[in-house]
Amino acid sequence: MSEGADLVGQAMARFAAARLWAAHRAPYLATAVFALNPVVLEPYLDDRTGRPVPDVEFRAFPADTRWNVHVDTGTALATPVEEIGWWLLHQVGHLVRAHAERSPAAEAHRWNQAADAEINDDLEAEGLLGPAGVISPAALGLPPNRMAEEYVPMLDVLAEAVGKGGRELSEAVDCGSAADGVTRGYEGSGGGLGDLDRELLERSVAAGIQERIGARSEVPSGWRRWAEERLRPEVDWRARLRAVIRRGLSSAAGRVDFSYRRPSRRAGAHPEIVAPAMVSPVPGVAVVVDTSGSVTEPRLDRLVTELTGILNGVAGRNRRLRVICCDVAAHPVQEVRRAADVRLVGGGGTDMRAGLAAATALRPRPDLVIVLTDGQTPWPERRVAADVVVCLIGEDGHAPEWAATVRVPKEDRS
pLDDT at 52: 85
Of all helices (H) and strands (E), which one includes residue 66? none
Q: How far apart are CA 414 and CA 300, in angstroms?
A: 15
b/e map 238-253, b = 16+ CB within 10 Å: beebbebbeebbeebe
How far apart CA 249 and CA 317 sit, in angstroms, is 14
Q: What is the pLDDT of residue 169?
A: 66
Give the DSSP letter of residue 71.
E
**Spatial CA neighbour of 175 closest among 143, 140, 135:** 135
Residue 11, amino acid: A
Centre a 10 Å sphere on the Cβ of residue 390 and count the other Cβ atoms it contains: 24
Q: Convert the pLDDT of each residue in 157-206 to its tens digit.
A: 887 776 666 566 667 788 889 988 888 888 877 688 888 888 888 888 88
Rounded distance, CA 153 to CA 117, Å? Answer: 12
pTM: 0.59
pLDDT category at 254 given cuts 50, 70, 90 is low
Q: Taking residues 360-379, what's their average pLDDT?
A: 88
Confidence of residue 35 (pLDDT cuts 50, 70, 90): very high
pLDDT of residue 17: 95
User: According to the model, what pLDDT value does residue 234 have?
Assistant: 59
CA dist 64 and 180 (Å) reads 9
Residue 330 is given by DSSP the state: B
CA–CA distances in Å: residue 318 to residues 251, 304, 308, 313:
21, 15, 10, 11
pLDDT of amino acid 353: 93
pLDDT tens-digit series, residues 287-332: 898 888 877 777 777 677 777 776 676 556 666 788 899 999 999 9
Residue 284 phi, psi (nearest 5)? -95, 140
* Distance (Å, whole) CA 171 – CA 24: 28
pLDDT at position 164: 65
Compute the distance between CA of residue 91 and CA of residue 103 in angstroms, rounded to an integer: 15
Q: Pairing relation of β-strands 276-279 and 257-263?
A: antiparallel
pLDDT attached to residue 414:
45
Task: Using the predicted structure, report yes or no on whether residue 409 has a pLDDT greater than 70.
Answer: yes
Contact predicate 156/111, CB 8 Å: no
Continuous H helices in 41-186: 73-78, 81-96, 99-102, 108-125, 137-140, 148-163, 177-180
